[in-house]
Amino acid sequence: MLAIINDDLAGAGRPESIFISWLLWQPRGVDLASEALKEVQKLARYEKVDPDIARLKALFASLAGSDRSMH
């Protein structure tokens, strides 16, 4: 998982930028929904710590096929 760093003027630490970077690094033919669900599970324990993490988790949840809160 990539660290969220907010000191980049280009926005590289924003949840959307991290999400796009993650998408671009996925191997060809991978099941993106399945991989996104794994990221949701990794981020679940940190979402109450930082609103950016909660936003990133929501992006992965959307790709995984669920916009509802996932545990």
pLDDT of residue 53: 93
Radius of gyration of the chain (CA): 12
Encode burial over 1-19: b for 16+ CB neighbours within 10 A, e otherwise: eeebeeeeeeeeebbebbb
pLDDT tens track for 12-43: 679 999 999 999 999 999 999 999 999 999 99
Mean pLDDT for all residues in the chain = 83
Query: The whole model's pTM is what?
Result: 0.74
Question: Token digits for 48?
Answer: 């109450």
Q: How far is CA 68 from CA 7, 11, 60, 64, 71, in A?
A: 31, 26, 11, 11, 10
Higher pLDDT among residues 70 and 25, named by residue: 25
